[in-house]
């Protein structure tokens, strides 16, 4: 690319892209900024928009410390499309300052404000306006970023984009009782990028550090306002919404497919089902483990392992969806390592095998069938436990068979499971490719188990 006059001088604007969040609410095993949106990570799409800004900017990506290589790879792809360099993972200053179109990668901190602090430490001397932007707002138009910059220049203070609220807002008590209606004309749903004069943002960070306000104020505009500095709102954009939940991600995919004309990915999600049955043990000394939980006082299920039918059914469903066989062929009952092993052992290894085959877990649904134990009081606990192991949403239902069959006679417990997996980006590659499936263990071989390490 030939430098235009706007790119010939050192930039006066920087954009700090905060990409260090875990994104647990999105239900993915990888940090939110690295979750694919139509086969491209959210961070890549966010950077594409920033590169389309009218003027030269210094771009600083604050990524998780264990994802710096991935972030650098994503930035390199975007920079190559826009013919711009990616600088090393260190602050740049003085004569060695990066040219006017660069991406610098730095490690994030414990909190969002810690991450912004680290991003500010990488600012070059020529910067006098700083935009702070969330990678999760991946579809934010470049024009909105330009408008924030222009507003900061014209006012000399903080600027944030926002949208008027369309829903009626109620104040409610803890009991759910309505206390009153809020005048929504005085409210705005704020977005990013949020822009500030560099000196103002630095002053606010110093104020927050000196007064112990970092933990209480997670929004940059709130931090600046808390320091007694002015902030104004300008009109935001509908595409600058934050991708936080699976529904947000689906909305973004539909927008890209329909409004922006991007084709539907050819690699589709896959679904698997599983079924497991275990009889109750003949003695009262066997402990009951079900859905990853210990059930004190309940008779356990017989089996080579702990007999957790819910976990075993999930393993079958995940292995089937990924084309990896079933729990018997992968783990086997002849291996003494599995004697008494808990469901967590099988689930953890199954997730690893699924990932090695090029897939991530989307969600799992489980149905437990039996007269006992009474499951409903611990449903939420079990769902949280299993979701934590799978790094994906889990829904559990329980039912009886109205005294019919072996479960109705309280002779055992059964479980069925349905699992959805979807193609994961190949490590270090973000062009819509997925890893080749990992081979199944050969006859006589067993998987590598994390619990043995």
Of 48, 40, 41, 55, nearest to 195 (Cα)? 55
- Flag whether 406 is marked binding: yes
Fold match flag (5-258 vs 270-452): no
Given a cut of 50, whether residue 440 has pLDDT beyond it is no
Torsion of CA 24, 26, 32, 35, to 10 degrees: 140
Q: Are 289 and 295 in contact (CB under 8 A)?
A: yes
Of 342, 289, 391, 408, nearest to 34 (Cα)? 391
Residue in the structure block whose two tokens are 């991600």: 249
In the beta sheet, which residues pair with residue 182?
169
CATH number of 270-452: 3.30.1330.50
Residue in the structure block whose two tokens are 């099988």: 346
- Flag whether 401 is marked binding: yes
Q: Are 36 and 10 in contact (CB under 8 A)?
A: no
- Flag whether 277 is marked binding: yes
pLDDT for the residue numbered 195: 96
- Flag whether 402 is marked binding: yes
| 199 pLDDT tier (thresholds 50, 70, 90) | very high
Q: Which two tokens stand for residue 257?
A: 């497919």
pLDDT in tens, 327-372: 877 776 666 666 667 888 889 889 988 887 778 999 999 999 988 8
pLDDT for the residue numbered 209: 86
- Please give the Cα distance from 15 to 194 (Å, whole number): 9
Q: Are 314 and 274 in contact (CB under 8 A)?
A: yes
- Flag whether 328 is marked binding: yes
User: How much helix, strand and coil, in percent to the nearest 5, is found in the chain?
Assistant: 35, 25, 40
Q: Please state the domain extents for the chain.
A: 5-258, 270-452
3-state class (DSSP) for residue 81: helix
- Please give the Cα distance from 355 to 359 (Å, whole number): 5
Of 38, 10, 47, 44, nearest to 193 (Cα)? 47
- Flag whether 124 is marked binding: no
Given a cut of 70, whether residue 430 has pLDDT beyond it is no
Of 43, 50, 45, nearest to 64 (Cα)? 43
pLDDT in tens, 99-126: 346 889 999 988 888 899 999 999 999 9
- Please give the Cα distance from 224 to 96 (Å, whole number): 31
Helix (H) / strand (E) element for 180: namely strand 178-182
- Flag whether 283 is marked binding: no
pLDDT in tens, 361-376: 999 999 999 888 888 8
- Percentage above 70 pLDDT, the chain: 82
- Flag whether 278 is marked binding: yes
- Flag whether 305 is marked binding: yes
| 259 pLDDT tier (thresholds 50, 70, 90) | low
Residues contacting residue 105 through CB under 8 Å, at least 6 positions apart: 60, 61, 63, 68, 71, 72, 75, 86, 87, 89
3-state class (DSSP) for residue 64: coil
Q: Are 119 and 18 in contact (CB under 8 A)?
A: yes
- Please give the Cα distance from 412 to 141 (Å, whole number): 57
Residue 434 DSSP one-character state: B
- Flag whether 16 is marked binding: no
Cα–Cα–Cα angle for 31, 33, 34, rounded to 5 degrees: 70
- Flag whether 108 is marked binding: no
Please identify, in words, the CATH class of the domain defined by 5-258: alpha beta
pTM confidence score: 0.58
- Flag whether 133 is marked binding: no
Torsion of CA 446, 448, 450, 453, to 10 degrees: 110
- Flag whether 205 is marked binding: no
> In sequence order, what E strands does 185-338 have?
188-190, 194-197, 231-235, 270-279, 287-290, 293-299
Mean pLDDT is lowest, of 108-117, 211-220, 380-389, for 211-220
């Amino acid at each position: 690319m030939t430098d235009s006059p706007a790119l010939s001088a050192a930039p006066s604007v920087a954009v700090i892209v905060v990409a260090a969040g875990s994104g647990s609410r999105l239900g993915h095993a990888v940090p939110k900024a690295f979750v694919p949106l139509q086969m491209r990570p959210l961070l890549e799409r966010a950077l594409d928009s920033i590169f389309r800004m009218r003027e030269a900017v210094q771009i600083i990506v604050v990524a998780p410390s264990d994802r710096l290589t991935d972030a650098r790879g994503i930035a390199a792809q975007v920079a190559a499309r826009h013919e711009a360099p990616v600088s090393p993972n260190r602050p740049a200053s003085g004569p060695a300052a990066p040219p006017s179109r660069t991406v610098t990668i730095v490690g994030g901190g414990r909190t969002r404000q810690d991450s912004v602090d680290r991003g500010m430490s990488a600012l070059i001397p020529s910067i006098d306006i700083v935009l702070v932007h969330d990678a999760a707002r991946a579809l934010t138009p470049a024009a909105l970023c330009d408008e924030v910059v222009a507003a900061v220049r014209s006012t000399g203070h903080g600027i944030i984009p926002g949208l008027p609220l369309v829903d009626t807002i109620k104040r409610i008590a803890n009991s759910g009782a309505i206390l009153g209606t809020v005048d929504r004309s005085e409210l705005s749903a704020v977005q990013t990028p949020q822009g500030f004069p560099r000196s103002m943002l630095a002053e606010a960070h110093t104020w927050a550090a000196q007064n112990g306000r970092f933990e209480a104020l997670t929004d940059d505009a709130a931090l600046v306002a808390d320091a007694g500095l002015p902030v104004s709102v300008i009109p935001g954009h509908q595409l600058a919404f934050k991708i936080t939940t699976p529904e947000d991600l689906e909305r973004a995919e539909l927008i890209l497919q329909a409004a922006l004309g991007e084709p539907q990915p050819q690699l589709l999600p896959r679904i698997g089902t599983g079924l497991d049955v275990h009889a109750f043990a003949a003695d009262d000394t066997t402990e009951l483990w079900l859905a990853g939980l210990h059930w004190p006082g309940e008779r356990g299920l017989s089996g080579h392992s702990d007999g957790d039918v819910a976990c075993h059914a999930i393993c079958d469903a995940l292995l089937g969806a990924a084309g990896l066989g079933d729990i018997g062929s992968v783990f086997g009952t002849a291996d003494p390592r599995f004697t008494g092993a808990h469901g967590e052992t099988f689930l953890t290894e199954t997730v690893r095998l699924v990932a090695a085959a090029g897939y991530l877990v989307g969600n799992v649904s489980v149905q437990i069938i039996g007269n006992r134990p009474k499951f409903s009081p611990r449903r939420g606990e079990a769902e949280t436990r299993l979701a934590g192991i799978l790094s994906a949403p889990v829904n559990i239902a329980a039912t009886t068979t109205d005294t019919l069959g072996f479960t109705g006679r309280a002779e055992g417990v059964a479980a069925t499971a349905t699992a959805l997996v979807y193609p994961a980006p190949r490590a270090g590659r973000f062009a819509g490719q997925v890893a080749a499936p990992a081979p199944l263990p050969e006859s006589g071989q067993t998987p590598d188990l994390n619990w043995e390490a």
